[in-house]
Chain A
């Protein structure tokens, strides 16, 4: 398969749209957790019950198409190969839990992959909308529309006082998790992020590194999301998150400006070194690749590097994960082989850029 074709299949169509503030906010996500009234939650459901849930969703979905976002495709986990599931996980379209541990797990995917509805994950339904850039309100409107569409036929588990009932009480109430993925290299370089994070946690929001563990965020990518789902309206939850994200965008821009003023040479050196490594290295671990890609993206956003598209960070962070590398190679790879493939794929991808601009 040619690299161009592979990329076009690997990158979800929604990612190609440019959202607002897309130099810092890479994507926005809204997730609603919903359960059906008369069935056990997936954690203890029997195969028979789980099957009935899938059947209900399927019937409803075939009976009346959701025109605004059709066509959808229903993928059942039992029919998929491990590598196919892994690729969906790496595209953030399904969770590892749905892929590996669910009983009769399934996902409804819209054709542009901006909408994914997981069935029989932790809850019966997990409605997820993905948007590029900073588009939380748009996501909420869409997710709520899908929610109404399901509710017109299915009987939800809803309690007047406790709201939408979820398997885990941390989601009860609105069942809403709103999150944004942010690229914050300047706040990391200037060591300001560590001071900001505790304050964000106090506001009932959670910050996590993506593609990494604990406080170590690969590629300076962070996910910020709400923790509280009960006692606040959906609009307020989104608005509170929006406010904090706007602040972070502002702080990151200020930090970038400061870096440019105080240490332009060092910054340029860092960007070009990383570009050089990505363009010529023969083996790259995922951690180093993520860091170098972050540097290059920063260089592009700050107009230090020209002739490379800004989408390269989002694209290559997804493409260089183990599942994708193995799918591209068409075989199972050891860690060393993956590092080699990763370096080769990044080199090839950068060459495509050079060809495009010459």
Chain B
């Protein structure tokens, strides 16, 4: 069979591409395949998703064991993506998936990001104020516990009021989402 692109050289690469439900048979020679790099799996960052699903499948010890069906039953409540689907696509369906699959995520993140699992970079300016507020509240709650354990109730009461005020603030600004 001749290459569909140049119609000159023998086609050596044969595959089916499905784009938006439309099936296409593609036959290319080496040279044209190289020129049309986008057709080759692995050339457009596609490989990263494959590699990633490799890492994830590693997480599931035996592919066809009965426990697999139990594992893959876990589904994201918001978008409906199952862990199995994620493992195959290498991509999450929505922001909620990060919470849904949180437990399985960290071991994989460690491998991909040199052992890191926690973000320490930029915090968005607008929603960031809420996060700072939350951090402040958590800090105060810790202090409150310390005061209580030392039976310093006057201090504790002051902190409790402060926390309540901050929580009210957080509720108001977070209410718009």
Q: Which residues of A contact B93 (CB under 8 A)?
A: 40-41, 43-44, 167
Q: Which residues of B contact A227 (CB under 8 A)?
A: 112
Give B56-92 as 1s and 0s: 1 = Cβ < 8 Å from A's Cβ atoms: 0000000000000000000000110100000001111
Q: Which residues of B contact A213 (CB under 8 A)?
A: 34, 37, 40, 43
A293 vs B92: C-alpha distance in the bound complex, in angstroms? 42
Contact call A158/B127, Cβ cutoff below 8 A: yes
Give B16-34 as 1s and 0s: 1 = Cβ < 8 Å from A's Cβ atoms: 0001000000000001101
- B90, chain A: closest CB distance, angstroms: 6
- Interface membership of A224, Cβ < 8 A: no
A160 vs B112: C-alpha distance in the bound complex, in angstroms? 19
- B89, chain A: closest CB distance, angstroms: 6
Contact call A165/B52, Cβ cutoff below 8 A: no
Contact call B94/A96, Cβ cutoff below 8 A: no
Binding-face segment, B117-125, B149-157, B159-167: B117-125
- Interface membership of A174, Cβ < 8 A: yes
Contact call A44/B81, Cβ cutoff below 8 A: yes
Q: Which residues of A contact B44 (CB under 8 A)?
A: 95-97
Contact of B117 among A148, A167, A231, A334 (CB under 8 A): A231
Binding-face segment, A17-25, A149-157, A246-254, A294-302: A149-157
Q: How many residues of B contact A (CB 8 A)?
A: 53
- Measured as residues with beta carbon below 8 angstroms from the partner, the interface class of chain A is 35 or more
- B163, chain A: closest CB distance, angstroms: 18
A43 vs B97: C-alpha distance in the bound complex, in angstroms? 13
- Interface membership of A144, Cβ < 8 A: yes
Contact call B113/A229, Cβ cutoff below 8 A: yes
With A41-B94, A163-B121, A335-B5 as contacts: A231 and B113 at CB distance below 8 Å: yes
Contact call B120/A40, Cβ cutoff below 8 A: no
Contact call A161/B118, Cβ cutoff below 8 A: yes
A165 vs B49: C-alpha distance in the bound complex, in angstroms? 16
A96 vs B36: C-alpha distance in the bound complex, in angstroms? 11
Within 8 A of B (CB), among A317-351: 322, 334-336
Contact of A35 among B95, B118, B121, B177 (CB under 8 A): B95
Q: Which residues of B contact A158 (CB under 8 A)?
A: 123-124, 127, 131
Q: Which residues of B contact A230 (CB under 8 A)?
A: 109, 112-113, 116-119
Contact of B98 among A100, A101, A165, A286 (CB under 8 A): A165
Contact call B91/A122, Cβ cutoff below 8 A: yes
Q: Which residues of A contact B116 (CB under 8 A)?
A: 173, 228, 230-232
Give A223-239 as 1s and 0s: 1 = Cβ < 8 Å from B's Cβ atoms: 00001111111100100
Report which A residues bind B (CB closer than 8 A). Answer: 35, 37-41, 43-44, 95-97, 100-101, 122, 144, 147-148, 151-152, 155-165, 167-170, 172-174, 176, 204, 213, 227-234, 237, 285-287, 322, 334-336
- The 3 A-B pairs with the shortest beta carbon distances in the complex, nearest first, are A231-B116, A163-B119, A157-B95
In the complex, 9 of the A-B residue pairs with CB atoms within 8 angstroms, ordered by the A residue number, are: A41-B93, A44-B93, A151-B126, A165-B92, A173-B116, A174-B121, A229-B113, A231-B114, A231-B115
Can you add 6 more A-B contacts, CB < 8 Å, to A144-B122, A152-B125?
A38-B177, A41-B92, A41-B94, A172-B119, A230-B113, A231-B120
